[in-house]
Amino acid sequence: MSINIVGLVGIVLLVFLFLKVPVFISILAGSVTYFILTPRVPQLIIAQRLVAGVESIPLLAIPFFVCAGVFMNHSGVTQRIMEFCGVLTGRMTGGLAQVNILLSTLMGGLSGSNLADAAMEAKMLVPEMEKKGFSKEFSSVVTATSAMITPLIPPGIGMILYGSIANVSIGKLFVAGLSVGAMLCIALMILVHFMSKKRGYKPLHEEQIKMNEFLKALKGAVLPLCLPIIIIGGIRIGIFTPTEAGSVAIVYSLILGIVYRELTMKKFLDGIKETVITTSAIMLIVGAASALSWVLTKERVPQQLTDYIVEVISNKYMFLIIVNVFLIIVGMFIEGNAITIILVPLLAPIALKLNIDPIHFAMIFIFNVSIGTLSPPMGTLMFVTCGVTKCKIKNFIKEAVPFYILLLIVLGLLTFVPQFSTALVNMLY
């Protein structure tokens, strides 16, 4: 009877998701179905779990870092970092496309949101790229793919969620994200170099940058770029926790806004409003998923799944391959935060039992979820970017094929070479 009810819960959840009902309502519908069909379980529990799910100290970091990222965008930080990226990569083949990738990597340490990053760069860079001769499709794909780096670079929201759910050190995840994000950045820049060379996309400028121009660009970007160093350094030394680091980031972003004289009262109030809306959307999903996790745990689904998989699969790399395929498929249909909240409690214990390093598995999981945001039919990054640039989805998918292949290669390296995820962590910890 319990198996049938759990199966029905899953069906209700998937049906609602395919009907494009908001994610938190879809998850909640699955949970409510269980309580309706199981009268012996008090229905008051669902309300308790909704509240308890968001009463987690580590989750406080989410509104803090979202707020800091919003204030950074309103403080003129983005423009200064873009100018610095232009100086660093302007002579490379691909010009503005290389600027696009490096900007996403550096802004990942400030905004923490891939959708915000993609929307911002789609507005700022894609029109300029088209003026320079880049096709709309190529510009859109580079923008969306480079935004995948954002959740991998601290303080990515996905890492905070994963760490709080799987009881893994968020500080260590932040450090691991630096190496994985840098790896993806370099891989994308190499691919863009060869594609641009083949298509004749020219550098931003041919002449060598003068030292005074470099120092001027660096001066404008150096203060914002110190934030990731402050966050990771402060956590590692023990000055503050990851949650407290979020409040430090807010204070730092406000100071930058005052120093640059661009954070007006109107922008401040708009930033607060944007923070509340973004945080509310995330926390609604967290609360709903907490209720669903309680249902799955009560029916012993994680334990039974762990026992079954460990019995059938003894090789950890075979398990990781299956997880990769599964997460890529699931990511095509379900929003990333929901995947993390629902599947981490199921898969993380199995990985631990197969002696897979928790940090290694976390980065594989987060990278897979990031690929899902770029994949049809429901890839959020794809839709946000195309919505801003007015690029047709079918043209976007066709242009993105080389990038999908590259992402699978990087995923393979992350899967079979754990050092890409763990080397920096082991060095610092």
User: Does residue 396 lie within any of the structural domains?
Assistant: yes
Minimal CA–CA distance to 243: which of 62, 429, 54?
62
Between CA 424 and CA 63 the distance in angstroms is: 27
Q: What is the C-alpha to C-alpha distance for residues 16 and 37, in angstroms, rounded to an integer?
A: 18
**410 belongs to a structural domain:** yes
Mean pLDDT of all residues in 242-261: 83
d(CA 320, CA 360): 11
Report CA-CA distances (Å) from 310 to 101, 340, 355, 384. Answer: 40, 21, 11, 39
Asked whether residue 176 is domain-assigned, the answer is yes
At 361, list the tokens: 């598995």
In a domain, 174, yes or no: yes
- Peptide linkage before 203 cis (omega within 30 of 0): no
Query: What confidence tens digit (pLDDT) does each residue in 125-152 have?
Result: 788 788 878 889 999 999 889 888 887 8
245 closest CA partner among 256, 254, 236, 258: 236
Which residue type sits at 51?
Answer: V
Q: What is the mean pLDDT of the chain?
A: 81
pTM for the whole thing? 0.77
Q: State pLDDT tens for residues 300-341.
A: 776 676 677 777 777 888 899 988 988 888 777 676 777 787
Span 24-74, pLDDT tens digits: 788 788 888 888 888 777 877 878 877 877 777 777 777 887 788 778 777
Does position 108 have pLDDT exceeding 70, yes or no?
no
Q: Which long-range contacts (CB under 8 A, 24 or more apart) does 38-41 make?
A: 38/5, 41/298
Rounded Cα gap, residues 174 and 299, in angstroms = 33
| pLDDT at 13 > cutoff 80 | no
Q: Is residue 43 part of a domain?
A: no
Amino acid at 371: I
DSSP string, 220-251: HHHHHHHHHHHHHHHHHHTSS-HHHHHHHHHH
Place of tokens 């926790």: 241
Does 1 map to a domain? Answer: no
**pLDDT at residue 359 tops 90:** yes
As for how many domains the chain has, the answer is: 1
Q: Which of 325, 423, 327 is nearest to 370 (CA)?
A: 327
Residue that has been written with the tokens 């909240």 in this structure: 341
Report the first-to-last Cα separation within the chain, whole angstroms: 48
Q: Is residue 13 part of a domain?
A: no
Residue 190 is predicted with a pLDDT of: 93
Domain residues for 192?
59-428
Is residue 346 one of the residues assigned to a domain?
A: yes
Contact 381, 118 (CB under 8 A): yes
Instruction: Scan for tokens 């019995």, then name that residue.
Output: 311
Which amino acid type is present at position 176? A
Q: Is the pLDDT of residue 176 over 70?
A: yes
Angle at 54 between CA 53 and CA 60, to 5 degrees: 145
